[in-house]
Structure 1
């Protein structure tokens, strides 16, 4: 419609005269038409608030865009990618459920594109930056090479209300989910426990969700120290290339050593701790993991521990150990990669959509 109006206006202004031939008018209109078609897709406008300042936006399509924000809670600029349902603009009075996707270590918000099921026509998907090794935590040390690092506050106290203020969302917990994988698998379960008022649904995939395991703590330390050769493929392109600059091994959660209660922060945020799992009594919980390769061998153990403790607490949940991946998808080898996570998310999203619909 806009293009047609543009053409009609151009014709009225450029009627053929002795100086302007019909051929010239045709060329002008063709060029003008190209300009109209080349206009970037329109995306919702955002207003600063909740501690976030918008500094940039990029439209990938009319339903896929990235905004860049700054906040006093974190050093630097940080991206938030958003997938809107296809009917968002054509149903101006409708409010939509929201799923938050938390990427893995060395990842970024664009990793969400590696899981096509997150582009749902039944909900908004928001993929905020979680840092190369942010671990979805407010760091114990704020004076490292990375500066301010209050990732949990950024996500739960700023991003969530900022999205609710700028998009047409359903703001109750029954219409909000958090989904995370690897490092983000810790983040999703931890956020569901620390903020049950926000999230009524949680899914964790190959998550580092048992801080009682020395092997899981060792992975966190390896990301802090950016140790070379760390086995990881939590990014779509393959093995993690870089976890950013070296920081102290106590930077994120304090001392990891279980002596004289030095590891009290680790224990306080441990997603597998029964006291924390008890906070999920009214939350829809889904756990996914494979059991192949060095990393998922341990995430399978952690997931089993969480499952057993949920059973002991009488808390309903759904657990899927797809083992070598043969029962999940041809792309899945049971390892720590998007060949498994993308089909696992494709299994989860329709169930989440149905739960959202039932809550409505």
Structure 2
């Protein structure tokens, strides 16, 4: 037996454990002929729980990982192109999708365009109210909550190490909606070396708006109705247990600099937008309900400031939704977001293809 045997035995044990666990749950891999998925090795601070791997097909699966950076187990759903397994020498661009508040990694299934045959789509858990940030308070009932570190310093390199990605910014995008829209724009600003493309759909982009700050606080307190126009594909979201209203960004009140963390994070701040000078930027919003009326204001502010900075961007302001799709009423829901992704993904695929020819 060669030196690779122990690793193969471990992989076999992991596969059997996953199959047995999901069989007991009546899960999607209960069949004996469950399709194979790529083997993932732990690393970058992430440890897998193989017994909780969910395999829907060879190109649609969910890993469960733990990390000291964010308390509890967390899922990472992956959509591979249909040709991934048949082209072992090919490397693929990657789009990261950040779900909305109260959502889960399974929300991505509500936007079929994310299942692309020209790129890998990765959907990391963002928590019910993680806000894609490293929280100021790490001692709430939720304990460790360094979401930004988890995603940017752990998930991204973990994916690059385990899948055949094209690991450069020209072939990597970050997209998101609602809470994930602000997260996507923030991540593109925080790590322009990682992401060459960003798209924010109905995002809470302008942290200078009192309405946006109030929404963040409402999710911290799990107040009913906070952004409840279906930012989760499953309906009005539950934002989880109560935490202090200052838990994520500290005090939201602009008194004696108390709101410094809000201002530092603010995706609409000109200093942060300036970091997107070499990034492809797309914004989508309607204005057909009380929530998207606010996201439209935020998106227009961001677009105006980008124009002032002479940074190209594309704003799709579809108003009441009639110009976008019959399913869209201009509101904060997947009836609008799914067709928005159907518009965006082919453009992103073309940008990835153009980068490959340079």
Q: Name 1:315's counterpart in structure 2.
A: 311
Structure 1 residues 99-108 or 37-46, which shifts more? Answer: 37-46
Q: Name 1:46's counterpart in structure 2.
A: 40
Cα separation, 1, equivalents of 2:47 and 2:235: 33
Q: Name 1:206's counterpart in structure 2.
A: 202
Cα separation, 2, equivalents of 1:230 and 1:73: 26
Cα separation, 2, equivalents of 1:311 and 1:273: 13
Cα separation, 2, equivalents of 1:70 and 1:193: 26
Cα separation, 2, equivalents of 1:50 and 1:261: 35
Residue-by-residue CA offset, 1:242-281 (whole Å, 9 max, x unaligned) = 1000000000011100000000000001000000000000
Which of 148, 158, 161 is residue 157 of structure 2 equivalent to? 161
Task: Give the secondary-structure state (helix, strand or coil) at the position aligned to 1:323.
Answer: coil
- Specify every segment of 5 or more residues in structure 1 that has no aligned partner in the other structure, as ranges: 1-35
Cα deviation for residue 38 of structure 1 reads 3.9
1:353 to 2:353 alignment: no
- Specify every segment of 5 or more residues in structure 2 that has no aligned partner in the other structure, as ranges: 1-29
1:249 to 2:245 alignment: yes
Residue-by-residue CA offset, 1:9-57 (whole Å, 9 max, x unaligned) = xxxxxxxxxxxxxxxxxxxxxxxxxxx9741111001000000001131
How many residue pairs match? The answer is: 324
Q: Name 2:223's counterpart in structure 1.
A: 227
Cα separation, 2, equivalents of 1:254 and 1:186: 18
Equivalent residues of 2:215, 2:227 under 8 A apart: no
Equivalent residues of 1:238, 1:337 under 8 A apart: no
1:113 to 2:109 alignment: yes
Cα separation, 1, equivalents of 2:226 and 2:117: 37
Give matches, 1:328-339, under 5 Å: 328-339=324-335
Give matches, 1:276-315, under 5 Å: 276-315=272-311
Residue-by-residue CA offset, 1:172-214 (whole Å, 9 max, x unaligned) = 1000000000000000000000000000000000000000000
Per the normalisation by structure 1, the TM-score is 0.89
Equivalent residues of 1:188, 1:203 under 8 A apart: yes
Cα separation, 1, equivalents of 2:249 and 2:106: 27
Task: Give the secondary-structure state (helix, strand or coil) at the position aligned to 1:100.
Answer: strand
Equivalent residues of 1:182, 1:208 under 8 A apart: yes
Which of 249, 255, 260 is residue 256 of structure 2 equivalent to? 260
Q: Name the Cα RMSD after superposition.
A: 1.0
1:185 to 2:162 alignment: no
Q: Name 2:17's counterpart in structure 1.
A: none
Per the normalisation by structure 2, the TM-score is 0.90
Q: Name 1:239's counterpart in structure 2.
A: 236
